[in-house]
C-alpha cells in the first residue's frame, strides 16, 4: 500500500466518522466542547496528510532541514504530537533519504500505545505502522528472492563453465584424433610405398622385360 492510498483511506474514514456523528444524540455542552477542539485536530491531521504526500518529493537538503527543524521542536517540547508523527513519517517513508524503519516503528508503537491521539490520528498512525511493517517484509522478501536468483545464476554460470570446459576438451580430443588419423594415413602411404618398391621387379640393363 502506498502512502497516497493511506491518505485516501484516512480521508474516507474521516468522512464516515463525520457522517455518523450527525445521527448521534449528545449533550449540547459536549457538542460545544467538540466544536472547540475539532478545528485544531482536523487541522493537524490535514497537515500530517499533506506533509506525508509532499515530503517524498523534497530534495535531500530540504528533507534534512525538515528533520532538523522537527528534531529541534521535539527538544523544546518532546510531547508535541504533530512533530512526533512527522518524525515517524520521515523515518517510515521509503522515499525518505533519512529512512530508518526501526526508529519509525518504535516511534509509531509509542504513539499507538498512548491515549493522546484522536481517532483520525490513531487510524493514520496505525496505517503508517502497518505500511512500514509490510514494507519491511516486502523488502526482505525481495532480498531473499534476489539471493535465490543470484544462487541460480551462479549455478547456471558454473554449469556453463563446465560445459565450455567439456567443449574445449572435446575439441582438443577431436584435433588429436585428426592428427593421429593423419599420421596413420601417412604411415600407410609410406608402408605402401615400401611394399611397392620391394615387389617391383628389377630390370637389368640389356635384358628384356
Residue 49's nearest CA partner among 107, 108, 89, 19 is 89
> Contact, 78 vs 95, CB < 8 A?
no
- Residues 109-151 pLDDT 10s: 999 998 888 888 899 999 999 988 888 888 888 989 999 999 9
> Contact, 10 vs 51, CB < 8 A?
no
* Virtual torsion, Cα 119, 125, 126, 132, nearest 10 deg: 170
> Contact, 3 vs 52, CB < 8 A?
yes
**Would the CA dihedral through 76, 81, 84, 90 be positive or negative?**
negative
| Cell numbers standing for residue 98 | 533519512
Q: What pLDDT tens digit does each residue of the chain (209 aa) get?
A: 555 555 555 445 444 444 434 333 444 444 344 334 455 667 888 888 899 889 988 999 999 999 999 999 999 999 999 999 999 999 998 889 999 999 999 999 999 998 888 888 899 999 999 988 888 888 888 989 999 999 999 999 988 888 999 888 989 989 999 998 899 888 888 888 888 777 766 565 665 55
Give CA–CA dist 205/194, Å, rounded.
23
Amino acid at each position: 500500500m502506498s502512502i497516497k492510498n493511506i491518505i485516501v483511506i484516512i480521508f474516507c474514514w474521516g468522512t464516515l466518522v463525520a457522517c455518523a456523528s450527525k445521527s448521534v444524540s449528545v449533550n449540547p455542552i459536549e457538542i460545544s466542547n467538540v466544536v472547540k477542539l475539532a478545528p485544531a485536530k482536523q487541522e493537524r491531521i490535514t497537515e500530517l496528510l499533506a506533509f506525508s504526500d509532499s515530503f517524498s518529493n523534497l530534495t535531500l537538503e530540504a528533507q534534512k532541514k525538515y528533520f532538523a527543524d522537527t528534531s529541534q521542536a521535539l527538544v523544546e517540547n518532546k510531547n508535541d504530537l504533530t512533530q512526533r508523527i512527522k518524525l515517524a513519517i520521515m523515518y517510515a517513508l521509503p522515499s525518505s533519504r533519512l529512512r530508518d524503519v526501526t526508529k519509525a516503528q518504535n516511534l509509531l508503537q509509542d504513539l499507538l500505545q498512548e491515549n493522546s491521539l484522536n481517532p483520525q490520528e490513531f487510524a493514520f498512525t496505525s496505517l503508517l505502522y502497518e505500511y512500514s511493517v509490510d514494507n519491511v517484509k516486502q523488502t526482505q522478501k525481495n532480498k531473499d528472492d534476489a539471493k535465490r536468483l543470484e544462487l541460480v545464476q551462479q549455478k547456471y554460470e558454473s554449469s556453463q563453465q563446465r560445459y565450455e570446459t567439456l567443449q574445449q576438451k572435446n575439441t582438443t580430443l577431436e584435433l588429436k584424433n585428426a592428427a593421429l588419423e593423419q599420421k596413420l594415413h601417412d604411415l600407410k602411404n609410406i608402408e605402401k610405398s615400401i611394399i611397392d618398391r620391394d615387389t617391383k621387379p628389377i630390370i637389368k640393363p640389356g635384358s628384356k622385360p
